[in-house]
Structure 1
Amino acid sequence: MFQFVWSLAAYVLLSCQPIIAQNAFPGAVGFGAIATGGNGGTTYMVTNLDDGGPGSFRDAVSESNRNIVFDVGGYILLKSAVSLSSDITINGQTAPGDGIGIMGGEVSASGQSNIIIRNLRMRQGTLDSDTGKSAFNMGSASTVILDHCSVAYGQWDSVDAVGAINITVSNSIIAFPIGQQFGAHVETGPSTFYGNLWVSAHNRQPLSKDDTQYVNNVVYNYQAGYTSGNTGGNFSHDIINNYFIAGPSTTSPSDGYYQMDSEQSVYAAGNYLDSNKDGALNGAAANVVGDSTVLSSPWESSSESLAKYSASDAVTAVLNSAGASPRDEVDTFAVSAAKSFGTSGTIYESQADTGLSNGGYGTLTSTSSKERR
């Protein structure tokens, strides 16, 4: 049977995206940046939107040491969770048209290591009958980086990282969790959350039961934002130049920091909270983090240099560029809510409640490079 595996040389000729031989990619940050993924391995071209078989995404991620590229754009509808292998790179930015998305099931890196994922849309939603799964699961995984990804409609969590070691989630949109309505759950760590947009979640943005870098994030329409939990243990948190913006679902704006007790050691600087829901970005400094123990300097030496933007400039940068590219209907909707600065936004129970096309998942035009010739 013909194997849809191309040589590295062929990929270099056909793609404008460079293969990075060391580190995840230029500009990668945080604890997951040391990932090399499948760079330097064989390149697998995804040629269809089927849930399995030759040329499918499921087949592409079934073996290690693969650099995965896409000759097709559109949604892949999962019939069951898809499990990633270790030592892979997923280059969603290579997909034509509106890009590539996974819907109706969990994408799982559980127990795997050395994974790079870029420009991938992961949207579980109620098409998945297993309410105990998440949109993206990297439980007990190690050395994982998600960059410019879009995660929505997670039923258990949007991002599950219980037991994960050395992870980064950067420049991504994490929006509209349903079910538990939770953003991300991290245990073990360390973890880095950088430059992300969090929209309309009940809690866990993230839940950090680990040593964490949390820099240049924007959290909108929360009921509880950055959380550690009263039974989380003793951890250190660098919380720098983030902006918390209350929305219609925010009942207590001060819960931008939630369940941060004296067992948590926090360096907080340059953070702002806009609590008045008046349609303008006009918050005030917010660097008192619950009852946590105050650190006079960051616990991680790289945290301050990671803070590329002030909190207000981070709002501009994140709203302009976070998420998968090109920005699609779901992400445009999330960004539009955040840009209302307090006047728009809902915590949903189902993707269908958004009123967006395709049952709430939004429409990604199905196309291939052949159609462009």
Structure 2
Amino acid sequence: MFRLHLNVFIMALASRALGLAFDGAVGFGAIATGGNSGTTVHVTNLLDSGSGSFRDAVSQSNRNIVFDVSGYIQLKSAVSLSSSLTINGQSAPGNGIGIMGGEISASDKSNIIIRNLRMRQGTLDTDTGKSAFNMGGASNVILDHCSVEYGQWDSIDAVGAVNITVSNSIIALPIGQQFGAHVETGPSTFYRNLWVSAHNRQPLSKDNTQYVNNVVYNYQAGYTSGNTGGVFSHDIINNYFITGPSTTSSKNAFYQMAADQSVYATGNYLDSNNDGQLNGAPDNTVGSSTVLSKPWASTSLGLATMSAADAVTYVLANAGATPRDELDTFVVNVVKSFGTQGTLYKNQANTGVSNGGYGTL
């Protein structure tokens, strides 16, 4: 255990020397400094609060959080993060760590790094106005290899957020509004994520956005700019949209792409025949938006190292918190049906997954 925690600390120092949140961090959130060389704090139990709890560990800034326990932490109320935190979910032993039944909020905070954490709100949270993860008004935030499921308001709420990255993550099965992510202000980077069975907002991008090598499955509306009330640019590169039983119109892979938006779209594919095979065709039609001849962000093409088809293979094998648990396995297997399985849920228990739908760690 000590060796694992030491390795986490050494890797953090190495990434700081490179100016990255961690080795391999990408996008606008990669500048997050996290806990820097601050205090290493151990989560030693699965209690909602008190000494050794996750809530207590994140209550002060300049901390690197490591886990001596595995399993679910069930929240009795939303937990608020402090600024300048690194949450190292990969340090948890066994099957990893998860947070269930409440919102994790980084609202109005800055410089937060979260890796390998399961955030699963669900109906155990009686506050339907909250999201699984809220970073409204936050700045310099990166989520990597996280699993965000059963959000009630949104899976990820990033209204007013500045410099964020969500990478290598699973954003799936939102309940309540059934929305994926809502981003305003930005800029934001969404990279190599798996989006599954949402009504809309995958994401809703009211900001300048990089959207590269994502996989969107069983959508009712996919990438959305909406009636933004703002003029923004969107780099949408090498993503794969796959329809499912809940998809009412395959054309809504790009949704509400308004005339005041500018879009660079290339290498995107759409599989709309629901035949159990991945066999889509190119689709880079972005509504009435202005089509850009080159990306608005200088780093976007450098991120797009995989074709859309290769991104499907990679994301299905690697997205989400590790080690992959029962719920994420369920989500990935639904996607692997390539059009024949999937539904939009209002209650996590309806999935049939154990532990009332949350899965067992």
Contact 1:46 1:71 in 2 (8 A): yes
Q: Which residue of 2 aligns with 1:300?
A: 297
State the partner residue of 1:62.
59
Q: Output the amino acid matched with 1:20.
A: A
Q: Which residue of 2 aligns with 1:331?
A: 328
2:193 maps to a residue whose letter is: N
1:16 offset after TM fit, Å?
3.1
Question: Aligned partners of 1:333 and 1:14: how far apart in 2?
Answer: 30
Corresponding position: 1:265 with 2:275: no
2:150 pairs, out of 150, 153, 159, with: 153
CA distance in 1, matches of 2:37, 2:281: 47
Letter in 2 for 1:353: N
1:126-178 Cα offsets, whole Å, 9 max, x none, are: 00000000000000000000000000000000000000000000000000000
1:42-67 deviation digits (Å, cap 9, x = unpaired):
10010000001111000000000000
Match in the other structure for 1:111 = 108
Aligned partner letter, 1:138: M
State yes or no: 1:197 paired with 2:194: yes
Q: Aligned pair 1:35/2:26, yes or no?
A: no
Question: Secondary structure of the residue that 2:93 maps to in structure 1?
Answer: coil
In structure 2, the CA distance between the partners of 1:14 and 1:243, relative to structure 1 (3 Å rule), is closer
- Identify if the C-alpha distance between structure 1 residues 293 and 104 changes in structure 2 by more than 3 Å, giving closer, same or farther: same
Letter in 1 for 2:123: T
Conserved 8 A contact 2:87-2:113: yes
Number of residues paired by the alignment? 355
Q: Percent of counterpart pairs with the same letter?
A: 78
* 1:251 has 2:248 as partner: yes
Q: Deviations over 1:268-290 (max 9, x none)?
A: 01000000000000101011111
- Secondary structure at the counterpart of residue 72 of structure 1: coil
What is the one-letter code of the residue matched to 1:31? F
Answer with 12-21 or 114-123: which moved more. 12-21
1:5-59 per-residue CA deviation (whole Å, 9 max, x = no partner) reads xxxxx96685432342312111100000011100311100100000011110000
In structure 1, what is the Cα distance between the partners aligned to 2:40 and 2:296? 39
Paired residue for 1:218, among 190, 215, 218? Answer: 215
Deviates more, 1:108-117 or 1:17-26: 17-26
1:16 is aligned to 7
Q: Tell me if structure 1 keeps the 8 A contact 2:4–2:91.
A: no
Q: Among residues 97, 104, 109, which one is paired with 1:100 in the alignment?
A: 97
TM-score normalised by L of structure 1: 0.94
Contact 2:5 2:91 in 1 (8 A): no
d(CA) in 1 for partners of 2:175 and 2:236?
26
2:88 is aligned to 91
Of the three residues 47, 62, 71, the one matched with 1:74 is: 71
Task: Give structure 1 stretches of 5+ with no counterpart.
Answer: 1-9, 365-373
Q: Are positions 1:341 and 2:358 aligned together?
A: no
* Offset from partner CA, 1:300-326 (integer Å, 9 cap, x none): 000000012000000000000000000
Partner of 2:274: 277
Paired residue secondary structure (1:168):
strand
Task: Please name the residue that 1:180 is paired with.
Answer: 177
Opposite residue 101 of structure 1, the aligned amino acid is G
Alpha-carbon contact 1:193-1:213 (below 8 Å) kept: yes
Question: In the aligned structure 1, how far is the partner of 2:287 from the partner of 2:203?
Answer: 16
Which one of 149, 165, 175 corresponds to residue 162 of structure 2? 165
Counterpart AA for 1:256: A
Is 1:352 aligned to residue 352 of structure 2? Answer: no
Q: Secondary structure at the match of 1:33?
A: helix
Q: Distance in 1 between matches of 2:169 and 2:36?
A: 22
Tell me the secondary structure at the aligned position of residue 7 of structure 2: coil
Are positions 1:134 and 2:131 aligned together?
Answer: yes
Asked if structure 1 preserves the Cα contact closer than 8 Å seen for 2:11 and 2:23, the reply is no
SS state at 1:16 partner:
helix
SS at match of 2:356: helix
CA RMSD across the alignment: 1.1
Q: Which runs of 5+ in 2 are unaligned?
A: none
- Say whether the 8 Å CA contact 1:11–1:43 is kept in structure 2: no
Q: Paired residue for 1:371?
A: none
